[in-house]
Structure 1
């Protein structure tokens, strides 16, 4: 009776030799794709499961026996997700357990691949493996590198379209990471958080690390299609070296995260290597956060204004406001730096609210000298756009400025995450709403087609690359076509030369801002 009950266990448990031959197996009711009733002792793993699954199990089997510790991963087969854990049992055998993942990231009815995809280690499995790698590296005097990859865009996808979609995107990301790492026994990856993964490389040669991670970055930045939506992620990478930067797994990861923050602050996708100076700069930014709070209260944050013009006639149609902070001691602080600090310290809404008030006050004071159809354009911060009081904040300033004189530039990522009811009310009042940074991260045609939007502004990075990049030209043409099809005003930022201006006019772009208008 006990043998029958054991055989009814949901998880499949198998004992396997190092050469991939099965010694014994039990259970497996919950994983029918892997259960083999006719399985005989001595059968090779290649005779039992698909070639890709068999190769994965053999690879982890050898890794577990060599490292003398358990290894874990997730993988997919026939569209279903599974967890695999292998623990060594002496020098030549190991026990493996396959169980289904209860929360599958694939929507029902979605087409699935015939071959499994390795999704990498989960956080617990990665930390366990990293500790084992550090112990081995000390014994062999061969340091390792730990790279933490922060993926800008994953959190927005989860909030906007749901966790299932973000998990599907992350699954594709992990598959690309695994493809880059290849079949190496010593290089491996794992997902640490919703938008964070880690990679271990068995080298401390900076050139080799940089080359490998640059190649990985290229693959992670490639578009990830899903239905009628195409996702683009921005990876930021921080690297810490064992025996140089840290000796424990926790410290190594913490230093790699510090390096990631440096990469994010610099807005670069190049790998950032940890240094002790980064800790000093982190403390300095804490001081800057306190100073930013005072600057907001005193309205010391000012603005840089740029004109937007009709590309054909050169007539100014809007004045576009960008935040600027000239610190009395530190000098000019880049917006990317103090905006990131505002978000990290919970000051983003206060900063955006203060900016909206100040810009409206300044523009209203000059209203009599402006052309009758000139608007002021303001880009509220994402946290403010998503705040429950955003519409009320805008309504409040409309007491001092006619609605048709105000334009709100809302970044595409924030726009698709926002309930559009309040925006529709503002649009009916006459406020112009422009989707900013179009074609940068995530685009959904149905949401744009039904939204209360007046214009579509192409992200600056595509505009400035027009003359040298064929992909940029294709993206610009497609965005202009979408704007015309949806009856939206096509706008471009970064019109810095006459050649770019002419090319945009040819594509059907109507308005733009940039250095080409500096003399106007």
Structure 2
């Protein structure tokens, strides 16, 4: 038999660590050292013996699992365990196709946060580093021993406000007081054993040795109920609001970071909904993820079948009310889901690489839309197309627009191209100059949402600046919104381009915009949108 890592037996015997060569079935092939772990050091030759015949069953099972994992993964596995009141560290690494070298040593110091499973005292608060170390060890042990484990993240609302309004030190005192009074584990209750750590100023994490939802619910329910009770300090009472989210090992994730991230996401969802109930990642975000996957699959078919088209609203001269432009916005009427919001399917399109394909498909339908709309409008009314950001940044964008013009689907002098301020910043606007020379109007959309470059806007071949709808809507009720609109309109005037407003919903808004110098706008004040123009084939089918 080859010696351990080709090390002479005399050196192995002198090691303070216990060194074992273990077959994956738990048979010891060689053993040496162990002077530093006298309670575990065998008094006889172990060659050919099974681990269970030498050490207590929990220790033997742990060593066997470590060896199996090391051989299977061809990587080092490690764990911490206690035996006879002493703490030990065990590490295994693959040694050939069927064996592993296991090294057992005394832990440098027993972790301050270590608690025996029978300890009924309230769990002490752990710092972030100590908690994360122990959390990783718990996950390793749970995976090796095939035991259940869950992690909960509790967002404690109110702590951040106290730190900001009063003092960070007071917030720390309140959080510490709330943690120290957490309930001890009731031996007669069917609740999971747990320990707690603090991730940040207002985030707590709880690791539970259970995957039973009722047990987790009961445990976290008592913890959150305790956190909700007023904290009396400095002559005042402070009220905290906890929101808990849970992720279960194996069901939701298998790595410490991902499991913690999923628990944090579930807690965020509970906080967003204002729910006092425990939020499980499996029930919420995973189902939403599956729904997004369904939308991604159906999105490809919808693009191919041209089910996503444009819904048009009119842009008018604010003073005379005359129609000057048909402005198209994306619309998807799903046969089962009904109308899917653009904000929802556009995010899916961007993350799945379908944004450019979608923008091109809609661009290809402009000719049909123009034929319908131009028949009922004046000869100078334009058609406005908002290209998606990924399409604008594509190297063939200008060529795609040029192809539509050369086909004669839409005359250049009747086409308006809307590009978001963010997309214009990322693309060299000089590339779009050729389109302007053909007569296409270029309008920068969503002005006021980003931080555009005045130098870039001054050099770009643009015709108009369209203010972001959020600012226009709040124009009369918010002083900041009025300042932003005033600045945007003033900037457009200084650059020699046309200011445009969206969200003009009542006469008062129209008058306010006219007073600021804006002459064009669209909104509910002008109700002349073309009904269901995006789905003529479906309307015909219903008829």
TM-score using structure 1 length: 0.55
Match of 1:441 in 2: 450
- Map 1:118-267 onto structure 2 (within 5 A): 131-132=132-133, 134=135, 145=153, 182=168, 184=172, 200-201=203-204, 240-241=245-246, 248-256=256-264
Match of 1:290 in 2: 297
- Report the RMSD for the aligned CA atoms in angstroms: 4.4
- The match for 1:326 among 333, 351, 357 is 333
Task: Classify 1:306/1:366 alpha carbon distance in 2 versus 1 (closer, same or farther; 3 Å).
Answer: closer
Deviation at 1:262, TM superposition (A): 12
Match of 1:453 in 2: 462
**Residues 247, 263 of structure 2: 8 Å contact kept:** no
Match of 1:505 in 2: 514
- The match for 1:517 among 511, 526, 530 is 526
- The match for 1:485 among 480, 494, 502 is 494
Match of 1:338 in 2: 345
Deviation at 1:360, TM superposition (A): 3.0
Q: Secondary structure at the match of 2:365?
A: helix
Q: Secondary structure at the match of 1:373?
A: coil
Q: State how far apart, in whole Å, the 2-side matches of 1:359 and 1:261 are.
A: 40
Moved more, 274-283 or 395-404: 274-283
Task: Classify 1:365/1:276 alpha carbon distance in 2 versus 1 (closer, same or farther; 3 Å).
Answer: same
Task: Classify 1:370/1:259 alpha carbon distance in 2 versus 1 (closer, same or farther; 3 Å).
Answer: farther
Where do 5+ consecutive residues of structure 1 fail to align? 1-88, 92-125, 148-177, 190-197, 211-237, 267-271
Match of 1:353 in 2: 360
**Residues 504, 523 of structure 2: 8 Å contact kept:** yes
Q: State how far apart, in whole Å, the 2-side matches of 1:290 and 1:362 are.
A: 27
Give aligned pairs, total.
329
Deviation at 1:299, TM superposition (A): 0.9
Deviation at 1:510, TM superposition (A): 1.2
Deviation at 1:242, TM superposition (A): 6.8
**Residues 146, 253 of structure 1: 8 Å contact kept:** no
Q: State how far apart, in whole Å, the 2-side matches of 1:485 and 1:187 are.
A: 54
**Residues 127, 249 of structure 1: 8 Å contact kept:** no
Where do 5+ consecutive residues of structure 2 fail to align? 1-107, 111-126, 140-149, 156-162, 177-196, 207-219, 229-242, 274-278, 530-543
Match of 1:402 in 2: 411
**Residues 130, 249 of structure 1: 8 Å contact kept:** no
- Map 1:417-432 onto structure 2 (within 5 A): 417-432=426-441
Q: State how far apart, in whole Å, the 1-side matches of 2:320 and 2:225 are.
A: 51
Match of 1:269 in 2: none
Q: State how far apart, in whole Å, the 1-side matches of 2:271 and 2:340 are.
A: 17
Match of 2:323 in 1: 316
Task: Classify 1:391/1:182 alpha carbon distance in 2 versus 1 (closer, same or farther; 3 Å).
Answer: farther
Q: State how far apart, in whole Å, the 2-side matches of 1:413 and 1:469 are.
A: 24
Match of 1:157 in 2: none
Deviation at 1:440, TM superposition (A): 0.5
Task: Classify 1:377/1:273 alpha carbon distance in 2 versus 1 (closer, same or farther; 3 Å).
Answer: farther
- The match for 1:413 among 418, 422, 431 is 422
Q: State how far apart, in whole Å, the 2-side matches of 1:345 and 1:382 are.
A: 14
Task: Classify 1:457/1:300 alpha carbon distance in 2 versus 1 (closer, same or farther; 3 Å).
Answer: same
Deviation at 1:240, TM superposition (A): 4.2
**Residues 315, 522 of structure 2: 8 Å contact kept:** yes
**CA distances 1:51-98 after superposition (whole Å, capped 9, x unpaired):** xxxxxxxxxxxxxxxxxxxxxxxxxxxxxxxxxxxxxx989xxxxxxx
- Structure with higher Rg: it is 2
Q: State how far apart, in whole Å, the 2-side matches of 1:239 and 1:453 are.
A: 50
Q: State how far apart, in whole Å, the 2-side matches of 1:300 and 1:393 are.
A: 21
